Structure 1
Amino acid sequence: MINQTTVPRPGAAAQDISQRVVGLVHEISVWIAGNAIGILIAAAIGTFIALVLLGLRGIGCRIIRQGADNLHWRLIFARALAKTHLLFIILCSAQLVAEHANTPTALRQLIQFLFVIAASLQAAIWARELILGFVEHRVGPEADRTTLGSATGIIRLLVSVALFAIAIILILDNLGVNVTGLVAGLGIGGIAIGLAAQGIFSDLFAALAIIFDKPFRKGDNIRFENINGNVERIGLKTTRVRALTGEQIIVSNTNLLNKQLHNFANLERRRMTLMLGLICQTPPEVCARLPDILRRIVEAHDNTSMVRAGMVGFGASTLDFELVFDVHSTDYDVVFDTRSAICIAILKTFNEADIQLAYPSQTSFTAAPDGTLIMPYPDVKLLATDDLDEADNETGEKAPTARG
């Protein structure tokens, strides 16, 4: 005997749906008739909540119109409030009415289902606006939008995908779907993608570190290793630095952040050090007056301050002095010109005071076997003796005998 499965006719299915709809409508009408006061109270509360949310959204839109050019935390929260969707407001009010008005089970489940979807998506939208607003706040209006636009665009994409994926998983979980396998699959897929693109993600996160931590910005003068130059472009993978010697240095963001960086952009002053070498015949009294002389020279120039000056040691053929002063300027051209002017002023003052700067020199002496110093060249010695004899004949006096 063959079992036959009874297939419902389309007309019977449509009739069954219509009967359910009619039953639901009847149940709702009975519920409204029997709970009129509770429904009115809950509806009033829901309307008040809806008006509050609409008011908050309106405040956010007004703040955006007033401060569109000044990004700060007040504007960030205003942008999040302005993204509040009208459907979420309506479903939020309906959920409050359904929870406190003895709503029929079928209608309450439908409202709760729609509210879960709207709330999850709305939470993702709010979180997205707050995170992206924080990113823009950290980047700042003075940052190079053209070069960092690709990085911020990738951040926007990653944040959007992550948040809405979480929202979808929450919706499915509330609907009773087992999301364990989905979460595990997403995790394994993320690990595989991360390992495959490890180098790219390393430079990407280095670019994000530059955005948030701001070790340098476009136009800053930096030094790393033996390279000194100005930052021209901060890209998604590399940073371009124009060296002082003229060439463009391209270095990956990861390698650049792994080095010790010197940023000269935020200097309030530059400290200059000059080494001066005087001849060994300089009197001690002059050496004692030299710090005051140098102080007057430094303080005669604008935007300079004396740090220290004094004798620091004895060289092979010099008396060594050190002069340290600060130039209060962030412009290196101004610093360079000030240092040059101070050097010229020191040279002029030394010439007027007959203070001689030392230069490399060497004197050779020749000694006899007994240690007596003698002239190194016999011809020179004979010439010197003849000159002394002629001087004796002309003056009639015996000139001092030259010894050597």
Structure 2
Amino acid sequence: MMRDWWLQTTVMSVPVWNWLLAITATVIIFFILTTLRRFIRGRVVDHPEAPGGFLIRVLLRAVASTSYFALLALSILLGVKLLELPFSWQAGISQLWFVAVVLQVALWLSGAITYGLDRYLARRPDLNPVTITILGISARSVLWAVAVLAVLDNMGVNITAFVASLGIGGIAVALAAQVVLSDLFASVSIGLDKPFEPGDFIVVGAIAGSIEHVGLKTTRIRSLGGEQIVCSNTELLKQTIQNYKRMDLRRIAFKFTVAYGAGASQAQDIANSVKALIEGTEGTRFDRAHLLQFSERGLEYEVVYYVLSADYNRYMDIQQAINLGIMRELEQRGLEFGRAEIRVHQLGQAA
């Protein structure tokens, strides 16, 4: 009698014993999947640098990041496979299968993109984090757009008109937000080309200061006066940028004039003394020192040398020492300057 009841009783045209079999299979599958996830998650957390290559670690992290809800849905779908359902129900479950697989694969790929970019940024600290963030957002946006379109197409939605409307809408949004998008792409350009980085001292037009932060839309500069200057990324890249942080040395060219009264031998000694003075100064490389011309005020000399440092304060200390040395040399010879000051010209001079 009981056996006949099990065989004859149905729920939604499916025998009760078949339902019990599907439920039992669902529970067993869910237990196996959660145990496997817990094992893999423990391996990934306890051994983040375990051997096996980058792709293997990405795969393990993707599996370990699978949610319990996704595992439960997968277990139910596998259990339902054991039911003898009508054809209409089977078609619906097939669609659910496709949706579940696409969404889970999209979640795995999204996690893999995040993990891969984080690892790449950790190995390349010189890269701009903003650029990596933008690339990650763009890649995930494309991924989820493809996933949603695939699901809609599987459900019978005509995505051709949908994609066309998205294209028209995208053009309208791009025209409305062209200034923001221009700064956004300029930020990507700064991150990839790296004309400057946080900490670099730059001169752009009338602005001189250190880069504090490169954002999605603007770059913040701390000026010599102490105030913060905010510049649009697009406008910043339109101008010529002088980056002094990457300067290995400074070329210094300066002139001074000695009043008439010195003989030819004294004029030659002055040039030789300047040469010896620069060569004896640490952190410099002498280039030349010549009697350039006879000016209205006296004998005009031109001197060129290099400071082997990008530090501006170091350059000023060296130039001061050279200036004082020249003054002493003239005093010892009883000569005077033809003008009150020494004219200094440095190519690319900046504070």
The interval holding the TM-score normalised by the smaller chain is 0.5 to 0.7
Structure 1 pair 334–172 and aligned structure 2 pair: CA distance change class (3 A): same
1:195 aligns with 2:175: yes
Structure 1 pair 199–213 and aligned structure 2 pair: CA distance change class (3 A): same
Task: Provide the identity percentage.
Answer: 30
Counterpart-to-counterpart distance in 1, 2:203 and 2:147: 46
- For residue 317 of structure 2, the aligned residue among 337, 348, 357 is 337
1:18 aligns with 2:12: yes
Counterpart-to-counterpart distance in 1, 2:262 and 2:169: 80
Structure 2's unaligned 5+ residue stretches are 1-8, 23-28, 79-84, 341-351
Q: Does the Cα contact within 8 Å between 2:134 and 2:188 map onto a contact in 1? A: no
Counterpart amino acid of 1:190?
G
Equivalent residue runs for 1:128-207 within 5 Å = 128-132=110-114, 137=120, 160-207=140-187
In structure 2, the residue matched to 1:349 is 329
Q: Does the Cα contact within 8 Å between 1:273 and 1:325 map onto a contact in 2? A: yes
Counterpart-to-counterpart distance in 1, 2:55 and 2:202: 31
2:288 aligned counterpart, secondary structure: strand
1:296 aligned counterpart, secondary structure: helix
Q: Does the Cα contact within 8 Å between 1:225 and 1:260 map onto a contact in 2? A: yes
Counterpart-to-counterpart distance in 1, 2:141 and 2:175: 19
Counterpart amino acid of 2:12?
S
Counterpart-to-counterpart distance in 2, 1:213 and 1:202: 16
1:255 Cα deviation after fit: 0.5
In structure 1, the residue matched to 2:238 is 258
1:22 Cα deviation after fit: 4.2
Equivalent residue runs for 1:5-404 within 5 Å = 18-19=12-13, 21-22=14-15, 25=18, 60-62=44-46, 64=48, 82-84=64-66, 113=95, 116-132=98-114, 137=120, 160-245=140-225, 248-302=228-282, 304-311=283-290, 313-317=292-296, 318-354=298-334, 356-359=336-339
Q: Does the Cα contact within 8 Å between 1:87 and 1:118 map onto a contact in 2? A: no
Counterpart-to-counterpart distance in 2, 1:131 and 1:321: 63
Corresponding residue pairs, total: 314
Structure 1 pair 218–87 and aligned structure 2 pair: CA distance change class (3 A): same
In structure 2, the residue matched to 1:400 is none
Question: Which range moves more in the overlay, 307-316 or 154-163?
Answer: 154-163
Deviations 1:325-384 (A, max 9, x none): 333334322222222222222322332344543328xxxxxxxxxxxxxxxxxxxxxxxx
1:166 Cα deviation after fit: 1.7
2:252 aligned counterpart, secondary structure: strand
1:228 aligned counterpart, secondary structure: strand
1:232 Cα deviation after fit: 3.8
1:105 Cα deviation after fit: 12
Counterpart amino acid of 2:110?
R
Structure of higher CA gyration radius:
1
TM-score, normalised via structure 1 length: 0.59
1:55 Cα deviation after fit: 7.3
1:130 Cα deviation after fit: 4.8
1:256 Cα deviation after fit: 0.6
TM-score, normalised via structure 2 length: 0.66
Counterpart-to-counterpart distance in 1, 2:269 and 2:173: 72
In structure 1, the residue matched to 2:347 is none
Q: Does the Cα contact within 8 Å between 1:88 and 1:115 map onto a contact in 2? A: no
1:286 Cα deviation after fit: 4.0
Q: Does the Cα contact within 8 Å between 1:61 and 1:82 map onto a contact in 2? A: no
1:191 Cα deviation after fit: 1.4
Counterpart-to-counterpart distance in 1, 2:271 and 2:86: 95
Please give the root-mean-square deviation of Cα atoms over the aligned residues, in Å: 5.0
Q: Does the Cα contact within 8 Å between 2:183 and 2:217 map onto a contact in 1? A: yes
Higher RCO (Cα < 8 Å, 6 or more apart): 2
